[in-house]
C-alpha cells in the first residue's frame, strides 16, 4: 500500500491486524492498543508544492487509484461533495480512500484558507480531471456551509457525468464500506433518499432555553418569517445519500430554491435543508419525499409502547457518528459535540453497517486513522462475493417506497447513536 509505505514514521501494520482480528488474545490486543496509542504521525507537506513532478508525487505518496476496480463500479459512478478548510494531508488521505476515476468530486474550499493551503487544494484539481474545487467563505454552523454544499451539488448535477448517488463528506471522514460495496448498497435503495429524521429543536422549550444568542436569533427569525409554502421545519445531518434525480430537484425546483434562500441568516442551515425539503411530501412531492411529521409521530408512539430494539441495519446509513449526549461520551474524545474515534474503537468501526465514519483525526491517536485506512483500502482490492447487500433493501425508506405502510415498517427503537 503506497500511501502507508510513504509515511515518515513507519506504522507496524501487524499492530493494525491485531487491533482488528477477533481471534487475537486479550494480552496481544492490549499490547497492540498500547503501542498504537504511542505511535505518532509526521509528514512533510511542503514537498508536494515544490516538487517538479507534483502530480506523480501526489498519486504515489497517497496511493490514488487510477482505474475502476470492477466493471460494476465503472458503470455506476458516484458523486461527492466535500467541505475543506484545514489539514491538507488528511484531505489527501481521505480523498485517496474515496477516490475512483469514474466518480465525481467537488470541494467547497474556505476562502479564508491560507495561500499554501489553497495551492495544495489546487493540486487536486490540476492532477485529477474529476475533482473540482469552489472557493467561498465557510463558518461552522453558518450559511456558508449550506452555500458550499449546494454550490457543489449544482456543479455535480450540471456535469456530464451520469453519477447515481451523492454523498457529503467532511474532512475528517473515512469510508467504512468500499466503493464496490457502496455500489451494491445503493442498488438496494430503490432510488430513495437516506437521511436522519429529527424534530426541529424549537419544539423543545428546555432545549431552547440553553441556546446561545445565535440560536435565539434563529428562533426570532423563524417566528418573524413564515417558512416558504407553509413547509414544516425538520432537522437532519448534512450527511445524506441523495439520488441524482433528487439532487437535480434540490437545485432547480422553485420550492427548494425558496427554502434555500429562506435559511440564510439562520443557525446551522445545513442541518435544516435536506429533511425540510424532502419531508413535506404534500407540499413538495419530489421523488423520494416523505411525510416526516407522520414518521416522527409514529416513531414516538412506538417508542412509548415497545421496548428498545436493535436491528442489523439502522434506518440512517450515510454516516456513523456518536454524539456527546448519546451516553458514550466517556468512551471517547469529544470535539464539537461528537466522538473522535481512537485505536480502541477500531474493532467496532470495522463491523458498522454505515457507509462512512465521522470522525478520525491525524492529531489524535493517528494509528487509528491509518489502521482503519489500511483496512478499507486493502478490502477495496479484494473480492466481495461474501458481501450481502440485501438487508439494506429492508431500510424503512426503501420499504415504504415499495408500497409498505409506515405503520408496518420496523425501526430500531433505541437511540440511533448506539455504540455497540
Write the pLDDT tens digit of every residue in 161-215.
Answer: 999 999 999 999 999 999 999 999 999 999 999 999 998 876 433 333 444 544 5
| pLDDT at residue 211 in the model | 46
Mark whether 371 and 286 lie in a shared domain.
no
Residue 97 falls inside a structural domain:
yes
Mark whether 243 and 383 lie in a shared domain.
no
Residue 118 falls inside a structural domain:
yes
Band of residue 42 on the pLDDT scale cut at 50, 70, 90: confident
Report the percentage of the chain scoring pLDDT > 70.
85
Residue 413 falls inside a structural domain:
no
Mark whether 171 and 120 lie in a shared domain.
yes
Mark whether 254 and 348 lie in a shared domain.
no
What is the residue range of 259's domain?
Answer: 198-309+396-408
Mark whether 51 and 184 lie in a shared domain.
yes
C-alpha angle 274/397/293, rounded to 5°? 60
Angle subtended by helix axes 366-380 and 13-20, to nearest 10 = 80
Question: In which order are the strands placed within the sheet that holds 319-320?
Answer: 173-175, 356-358, 319-320
**pLDDT, averaged across the chain:** 86
Sign of CA dihedral 18, 359, 67, 54: negative
Taking the CB of residue 139, how many other CB atoms lie within 10 A of it? 11
Mark whether 95 and 177 lie in a shared domain.
yes
For residue 175, which phi and psi values (nearest 5 degrees)?
-75, 140
pLDDT at 274 over 60: yes
Compute the average pLDDT of residues 339-352.
93
Amino acid at each position: 500500500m503506497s500511501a502507508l509505505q510513504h509515511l515518515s514514521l513507519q506504522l507496524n501494520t501487524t499492530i493494525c491486524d491485531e487491533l482488528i482480528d477477533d481471534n487475537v488474545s486479550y494480552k496481544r490486543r492490549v499490547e497492540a492498543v498500547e503501542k498504537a496509542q504511542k505511535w505518532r504521525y509526521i509528514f512533510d507537506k511542503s514537498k508536494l508544492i515544490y516538487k517538479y513532478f507534483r502530480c506523480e508525487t501526489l498519486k504515489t505518496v497517497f496511493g490514488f487509484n487510477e482505474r475502476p476496480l470492477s466493471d460494476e463500479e465503472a458503470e455506476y459512478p458516484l458523486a461527492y461533495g466535500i467541505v475543506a478548510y484545514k489539514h491538507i494531508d488528511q484531505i489527501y488521505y481521505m480523498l485517496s480512500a474515496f477516490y475512483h476515476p469514474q466518480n465525481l468530486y467537488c470541494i467547497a474550499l474556505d476562502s479564508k484558507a491560507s495561500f499554501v493551503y489553497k495551492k495544495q487544494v489546487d493540486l487536486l484539481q490540476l492532477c485529477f480531471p474529476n475533482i473540482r474545487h469552489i472557493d467561498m467563505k465557510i463558518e461552522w454552523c453558518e450559511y456558508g456551509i449550506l452555500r458550499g454544499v449546494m454550490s457543489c451539488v449544482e456543479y455535480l448535477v450540471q456535469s456530464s457525468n451520469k453519477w447515481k448517488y451523492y454523498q457529503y463528506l467532511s474532512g475528517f471522514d473515512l469510508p467504512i464500506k468500499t466503493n464496490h460495496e457502496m455500489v451494491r448498497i445503493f442498488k438496494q435503495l430503490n432510488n430513495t433518499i437516506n437521511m436522519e429524521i429529527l424534530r426541529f429543536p424549537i419544539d423543545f422549550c428546555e432545549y431552547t432555553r440553553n441556546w446561545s444568542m445565535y440560536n435565539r436569533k434563529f428562533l426570532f427569525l423563524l417566528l418573524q418569517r413564515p417558512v416558504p409554502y407553509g413547509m414544516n421545519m425538520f432537522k437532519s445531518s448534512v450527511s445524506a445519500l441523495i439520488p441524482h434525480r433528487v439532487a437535480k430537484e434540490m437545485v432547480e425546483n422553485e420550492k427548494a430554491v425558496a427554502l434555500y434562500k429562506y435559511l440564510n441568516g439562520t443557525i446551522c442551515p445545513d442541518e435544516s435543508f435536506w429533511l425540510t425539503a424532502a419531508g413535506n411530501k404534500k407540499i413538495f412531492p419530489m421523488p423520494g419525499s416523505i411525510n416526516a411529521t407522520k414518521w416522527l409521530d409514529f416513531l414516538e408512539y412506538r417508542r412509548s409502547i415497545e421496548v428498545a430494539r436493535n436491528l442489523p441495519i439502522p434506518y440512517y446509513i450515510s454516516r456513523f457518528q456518536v454524539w456527546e449526549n448519546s451516553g458514550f461520551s466517556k468512551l471517547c474524545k469529544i470535539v464539537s459535540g461528537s466522538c473522535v474515534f481512537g485505536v480502541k474503537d477500531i474493532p467496532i468501526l470495522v463491523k458498522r453497517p454505515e457507509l462512512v465514519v465521522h470522525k478520525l483525526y491525524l492529531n489524535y491517536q493517528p494509528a487509528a486513522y491509518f489502521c482503519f485506512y489500511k483496512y478499507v483500502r486493502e478490502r477495496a482490492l479484494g473480492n466481495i462475493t461474501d458481501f450481502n447487500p440485501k438487508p439494506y433493501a429492508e431500510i424503512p425508506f426503501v420499504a415504504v417506497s415499495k408500497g409498505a405502510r409506515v405503520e408496518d415498517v420496523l425501526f430500531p427503537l433505541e437511540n440511533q447513536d448506539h455504540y455497540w
